């Protein structure tokens, strides 16, 4: 059993209750000059209720990681069960235990109020410790599979006490905060469409960079190839295949490439990501018809998806393994990536980086740049180099 240790942790600004009066003149008596009734006990310093730091009990493994929601907070493990977050529904999460039972769990307040850069403290795929409680059937509207059947009695609920350390995290930046799409996955299937909506190689490059940073194996899958001549995709497919990425061509409508895609997902923890309308749910329905995910047609006006999938959801596959279907992405900004790091995440740029004249070469305007020479000689793809320049320029801005 690991030893517990007291650590100082930062909390969000709304953790403390306002102490000072908002308007000292609001209750001033105009007809009398009474002695000033200001509360002399008000504190302006960072002590008392205004402080945002508290001492919490944590395991030794997380003593140096208090700013992460995955910190090992000390909990009574005898009263808790191990589970996995299937999806996040607002303030609650669906958690499945080892026996397959599903609980609707709220998050412990100390986890929700710890100061962190994350947009949501709990994400789909998280391994958690939760404390189950028996609650009477609630009138709150719940998903159909969580509502107790007539005669079954109480609703299964609980509280998430601790989030275990994560690996294989896919995230993006939203308004300056980290938005974790999914955690604890082995590979990411980057879904694009050949048409309706149009193919966006720049979005694929951003997701490949995120996969490289998170240590997740990427697969590029181009759907709807029945709408175009597949030969038109060979230049793009060849560039990614030359770098060692697995590229699949598929069509959920005709069934082309579905068997190969099913083998790529089988027995692994995977996540499907891509812009809205590319057919992620349709591909999953073709891979496993038992899923029966809801799908919609692409808008005829702007050829964009209609956000049929609204939340990331962990789904078991009948052939083994599981997959996470995520909502469509219309804007994908990188998280925690500085401009100097981008070149290291581009597989095709790595062999030339150390041959530049200047050790801090940005590969954009310097003379005697090995990367620029490789582009001029045709050894590097022009589009990939332009994608690198746009990513670096965007991160600098």
- The domain 339-396 is classified under which CATH number: 3.30.360.10, 1.10.260.40, 1.10.287.3510, 1.10.40.50? 1.10.40.50
- The domain 181-325: what is its CATH number? 3.40.50.300
| Confidence at 219, pLDDT banded by 50, 70, 90 | very high
pLDDT category at 135 given cuts 50, 70, 90 is: low
Its sign, for the CA torsion 130, 134, 140, 143, is positive
> What are the residue ranges spanned by the domains of the chain?
77-163, 181-325, 339-396
Q: Which residue has the higher pLDDT, 332 or 38?
A: 332
**CB-side neighbour CA atoms (13 Å) of 337:** 27
- Could you tell me the pLDDT band of residue 182, with boundaries at 50, 70 and 90? very high
- Residue 60 pLDDT exceeds 90: no
pLDDT tens-digit series, residues 285-326: 999 999 888 876 655 554 554 556 778 889 999 888 899 988
Give me the pLDDT at residue 154, please.
Answer: 53
Collect all residues with Cβ–Cβ distance below 8 Å to 296 and sequence separation of at least 6: 305, 306, 308
The reported pLDDT for the residue numbered 381 is: 96
Angle, helix 201-214 to helix 382-396, in steps of 10 degrees: 70
What band does 32 get if pLDDT is binned at 50, 70 and 90? Answer: low
Residue 56 confidence (pLDDT)? 57
Mark residue 357 as left, alpha or beta (left: phi above 0; alpha: psi -120 to 50; beta: remaining): alpha
Residue-wise pLDDT tens digits, 64-75: 444 444 456 777
- Of the candidates 10, 11, 335, which has an alpha carbon nearest to the alpha carbon of residue 177? 335
Give the mean model confidence (pLDDT) for residues 206-213. Answer: 94
- Report percent pLDDT > 70 for the chain: 72
- Res 243: pLDDT: 94
pLDDT higher at 31 or 396: 396
- pLDDT at position 31, please? 52
- pLDDT at res. 295: 76
Give me the architecture of the 77-163 domain, per CATH: Beta Barrel (2.40)
The H-assigned helical ranges of the chain are 109-113, 201-214, 234-242, 258-265, 280-287, 339-342, 350-353, 370-376, 382-396
In this prediction, residues 223-251 reach a mean pLDDT of 94
pLDDT at 147 (0 to 100)? 45
Output 17 or 354, whichever has higher pLDDT: 354
Q: How far apart (Å, rounded) are the C-alpha atoms in residues 211 and 226?
A: 28
What is 232-301 written as a DSSP string? GGHHHHHHHHHTT-EEEE--TTT-TTHHHHHHHHTTSEEEEE--TTS-HHHHHHHH-TTS-----PPPTT
- CA 317 to chain centroid: 21
pLDDT at 344 over 90: yes
Is the pLDDT higher at 79 or at 297? 79
197: preceding bond cis by omega (within 30 degrees)? yes
Q: Taken in order 88, 92, 96, 101, is the CA torsion positive or negative?
A: negative
Whole-number pLDDT of residue 66? 41
Interval 48-60 mean pLDDT:
54
pLDDT at 311: 84
Burial tier of 217 (Cβ tally within 10 Å: 0-12, 13-18, 19+): middle
Q: Give the model confidence (pLDDT) of 265-281 as tens digits.
A: 999 999 999 988 898 99
């Amino acid at each position: 059993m690991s030893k517990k240790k007291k650590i100082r942790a930062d909390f969000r600004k709304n953790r403390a209750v306002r102490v000072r009066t908002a308007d000292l003149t609001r209750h001033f008596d105009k007809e009398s000059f009474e002695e000033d009734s200001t509360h002399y006990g008000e504190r302006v310093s960072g002590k008392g209720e205004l402080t945002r730091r508290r001492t919490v009990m944590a395991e030794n493994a997380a003593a140096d990681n208090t700013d992460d929601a995955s910190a090992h907070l000390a909990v009574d493990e005898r009263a808790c069960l191990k589970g996995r977050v299937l999806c996040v529904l607002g303030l609650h999460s669906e958690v499945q235990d080892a026996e397959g039972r599903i609980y609707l769990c709220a998050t412990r307040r100390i986890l929700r109020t710890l100061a962190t850069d994350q947009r949501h403290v709990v994400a789909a795929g998280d391994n958690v410790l939760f404390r189950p409680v028996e609650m009477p059937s609630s009138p709150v509207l719940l998903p159909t599979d969580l509502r107790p059947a007539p005669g079954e009695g109480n609703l299964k609920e609980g509280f998430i006490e601790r989030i275990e350390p994560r690996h294989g995290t896919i995230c993006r930046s939203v308004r300056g905060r980290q938005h974790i799409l999914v955690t604890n996955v082995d590979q990411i299937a980057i879904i694009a469409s050949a048409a309706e909506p149009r193919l966006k190689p720049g979005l694929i490059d951003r997701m490949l960079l995120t996969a490289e940073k998170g240590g997740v194996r990427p697969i590029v899958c181009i759907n709807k190839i029945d709408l175009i001549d597949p030969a038109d995709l060979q230049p793009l497919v060849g560039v990614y295949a030359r770098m060692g990425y697995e590229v699949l061509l598929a069509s959920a409508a005709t069934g082309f490439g579905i068997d190969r895609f099913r083998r790529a997902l089988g027995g692994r923890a995977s996540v499907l990501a891509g812009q809205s309308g590319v057919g992620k749910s349709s591909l999953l329905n073709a891979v496993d018809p038992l899923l029966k995910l809801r799908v919609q047609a692409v808008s005829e006006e702007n050829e964009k998806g209609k956000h049929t999938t609204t939340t990331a959801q962990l789904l078991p596959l009948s052939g083994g393994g599981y997959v996470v279907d995520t909502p469509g992405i219309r804007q994908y900004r990188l998280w925690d990536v500085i401009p100097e790091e981008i070149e290291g995440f581009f597989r095709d740029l790595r062999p030339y980086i150390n041959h530049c004249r200047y050790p801090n070469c940005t590969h954009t305007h310097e003379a005697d740049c090995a990367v620029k020479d490789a582009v001029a000689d045709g050894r590097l793809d022009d589009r990939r180099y332009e994608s690198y320049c746009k990513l670096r320029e965007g991160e600098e801005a």
